[in-house]
Structure 1
Amino acid sequence: MATIDGVPVTDTAAPGTSGLLLKRRLRRKPALLAPGAFDALSALMIEQAGFEAMFISGSGISYTQLARPDIGLISLDQLCQVTRRVRDRLETPLIVDADNGFGDAINVEHTVRALERAGASAVLIDDQAFPKRAGALTGKTFVTPATMAEKVRAAVNARREANTLVIARTDALPHEGIEASLARAHLYVEAGADALFIDQPQSLEDYQRIAAEFPDTPLVANMIEGGSSPALSASELTELGFGLVIASGSLVRGFAAMAERLLAVLKRDGSTAALSDQLLTFGALNERLGLSQIADQGRRFDPAFRLETLMSTHDDKEGGQ
C-alpha cells in the first residue's frame, strides 16, 4: 500500500486526498524524492521500491511513446492517457509534468481539469513559450513573467479540489540569470503557486540563494545525470531547504542502457544467457505484476479459477530479484 508522510493512502483517486497528503509532506524533512515514471510498468516499479510519490515525466513519455527528444511533441491527450493508466494501477501520489500547460491561460484551465480527472495529485506548469523544449536543451523561448503569472492564476482557479497542487516552474535561469529568475518566481508565488521549481541552478550559490529567497514556499529540485547543475543528493538538497527532489529521467535512461546491453548480447550470442542473472524470470515478473492477487480475485467468483505460470520459478529468488 502506498504511504506518504507515514500515512497509508488507500484511495488517492478520491478527490483531494493525495494532494492534501502531498502538501503536508512537502513541508517536512527529509525532502520528498520522486522518481520519474513514463508508463504503468515504470510507475509500478517505483511504488514497489517504496517511494512515497512519483513524477509523471513529459520527457520520459516523449522518449518512450514517440522515441523522440523532449521538444514539445506530446499532447495533453497522451499525457492524460499515461496518467490515467498509472492511476488505475497505483495509489501513489502523482506529480504530473504538464509542460507549458499546452497554451495560454484558457488552455491551462483545460489542462488542469483534464489532469485532475485523470488522477493527478499535483500539476507542474513551466514558463516556456512554443516550441517547448526540455529544460536541459538550448533553443528555448519564454513567455513574459506577467503572462506566466496569469497562467498560474488560471491553473489555481481551474482546479476542482483545493488540495490539487499547482507547481510553477521557470526554465529561465541559464538564459536570464538568477535575479530575473527569482523575480519571475516571486510573481508566480503571488499568483497562487503552491510550490516553486527554479530549474538548472548553475552553482551551489544559486541553490542557496533560491532557498533563502523563498523560506516559506516548498521548493523543487531536479536530479539529472550529467546536467549543468551541481550534482547534489536528496539529503544535500534537504539541508539546503528543498522539499521535493525529482529524478525525472533516471529510470528511462537506466532502462535504455540495459536494453542496449541486452540487445548487444542477444545479437552477439543468439541468446541472453550471459545476462540471465541480471534479468527477472518470467515468474518473478508476473509476481511483480500481481498475478497471485489476480488469481485470488478470480477464485472469489469461481473456485475453479486457475491463473499461474507454467514456467519454472525455481530461480526467481536469484539475481532476477
Structure 2
Amino acid sequence: MPSQADKLRALLAQDKLNVMPCCFDALSAKLIEQAGFGLTFMSGFATSASRIGQPDLGLMSYAEVLDQARNVTDAIEIPLIADGDTGYGNAMNVRRTVTGFAKAGAAAVMIEDQLAPKRCGHTPGKAVVSRAEAFDRIRAAQDAKDAGADILILARTDARHDHGLTEAIDRAAKFKELGADILFVEAPKTVSEMQTICRELPGPKMANIVEGGETPELSHKELEDIGFSIAAYPLTLMASAMQAMMGTLAKLKSDEDRTPDLMNFSELRDRIGFNDYYEASAHYETSKRD
C-alpha cells in the first residue's frame, strides 16, 4: 500500500489543479472525502476556531494540533496536509514537529516563516523572521525527512506583506533549494503577482483562496492555467457551517420550522458511519445480542 506521502506525490505528479477544501476536524474531513476530493488540509484558522473557540493567533499548542491531525488521519484515506505553523520553537522543535506529523499519518506539513506567535495570512499584524531563521526551519524540516520521516514539506512565506513580492519569491526559491516539496507564497494581491509566482518558482505551487481575503478569487481553470498545483480553500467549510448554524439557531429561538435546513436523520447517520459500523459488527456473534 502506498504511504500517504506517496499518494500526495502521485497527485502532484499529475498536470492538473488539485482543488483542496480544508477541514477542521475528523467529520469535516470525512465529508470532504465523501464529496470526492482527493486531498485536504487541516486549516489552522478553522481548527483553532473549532477546537478551542479562539482565533488563529498562536494559541493552540503543538500537542493540540497534532492530536487533531491524528483524529483526522484516522478518519480518512485521502492525504492530509497538516498546518505546522512556525514549527513551535527553534530548528530542533521544527524537526520534532515534522517527525510528529509524519508519525500521525499526515502526507505533508506546512512550515512557515512568520514570527511567533503566528497570525492568519489574511489578517493584520503578521511579520516574518530573518532569512537565516526562515531557512533554518526548512533545513530542519528536511533533516527530519532525511532521518526517516515519510512526509512532504509545504514551505510557506508571508514576506509579501511587509517586504514585497520579490523578497517572498527569493525566500520561496531558497526553500525549494533546501528541500521543500511544495511552495506557498501567501497573499499575492493581483492576478499578475500570482502569474509571477508560478512563472519564477519551480515545482508545485499552492494558491490560498480566502473568500473576502486579499488574493483574487479565480476559477479553478484560471488557477490551473496560471500554473498552480493546489488550490486551498481554508475557510469555505467553516464559514458555510457557521452561517448555517446561526440561521438554524435563529429559527430554533423563534420557534420557526427548521427542518428544510437540516440534513435528514438517515443521511446524517450514514455519513457519520453508523451503517458502516453495523455492517462490520455483524461479523461478530456477541454484537448480535446488543
Matched-pair contact (CA < 8 Å) for 1:146–1:187: no
In the aligned structure 2, how far is the partner of 1:141 from the partner of 1:288?
41
Query: CA 1:242–1:163 in 2, change beyond 3 Å: closer, same or farther?
Result: farther
Q: Does residue 1:137 correspond to 2:120, yes or no?
A: no
Correspondence 1:74 to 2:57: no
Q: Is the 8 A contact 1:219 1:244 kept in 2?
A: yes
Is 1:176 matched with 2:163? yes
TM-score (ref. length: structure 2)? 0.95
Other structure's SS at 1:141 match: coil
Aligned-residue identity in percent: 36
Provide the rounded CA distance (Å) in 1 between the counterparts of 2:30 and 2:289. Answer: 24
RMSD: 1.6
Choose which of 80, 103, 108 in structure 2 pairs with 1:117. Answer: 103
2:272 maps to amino acid: L
Aligned CA distance change for structure 1 residues 306 and 128 (closer, same or farther; 3 Å): farther
3-state secondary structure, aligned to 1:305: helix
Structure 1 residue 303 displacement after superposition: 7.1
Which residue of 253, 268, 287 maps to 1:285? 268
Give the Å deviation of 1:24: 2.6
Aligned to 2:153, the other structure's residue is in SS state: strand
Conserved? CA contact 1:194–1:218, under 8 Å: yes
How far apart in 2 are the matches of 1:242 and 1:207? 9
Q: Tell me, yes or no, if structure 1 residue 213 matches structure 2 residue 200.
A: yes
State the AA in 2 paired with 1:289: I
In the other structure, the counterpart of 1:314 is none
| Alignment deviations for residues 229-277 of structure 1 (CA, whole Å, 9 cap, x no partner) | 11112221110011011111110111110011000011011x5x2x312
Normalised by the length of structure 1, the TM-score is 0.86
1:152 corresponds to which residue?
A: 138
Q: Can you list the C-alpha shifts for 1:101-153, whole angstroms capped at 9, x where unaligned?
A: 11111110010111111111000111001121110111112111121111101
Aligned to 2:18: 32
Which residue type is aligned with residue 274 of structure 2?
L
**Residue 193 of structure 1 pairs with residue 180 of structure 2:** yes
Give the structure 1 partner of residue 154 of structure 2. Answer: 167
Mind listing any 5+ residue stretches in structure 2 that lack a counterpart? Answer: none
Partner of residue 215 from structure 2, selected from 220, 229, 243:
229
Tell me the equivalent position of 1:8: none
1:186-230: CA deviation from partner (whole Å, max 9, x where unpaired): 11111111110001111111011111102x310000111001111
Counterpart contact for 1:34–1:54, Cα < 8 Å: yes
Tell me which amino acid in the other structure corresponds to 1:298.
Answer: S
Give secondary structure in 2 for the equivalent of 1:99. coil
Within-5 A mapping of 1:53-72: 53-72=39-58
1:306: Cα distance to partner?
7.0
Give the 4+ runs in structure 1 shifted more than 4 A: 160-163
Contact 1:99 1:124 in 2 (8 A): yes
Q: Which residue of 1 aligns with 2:259?
A: 276
- The structure with the greater share of residues assigned to helix is 2
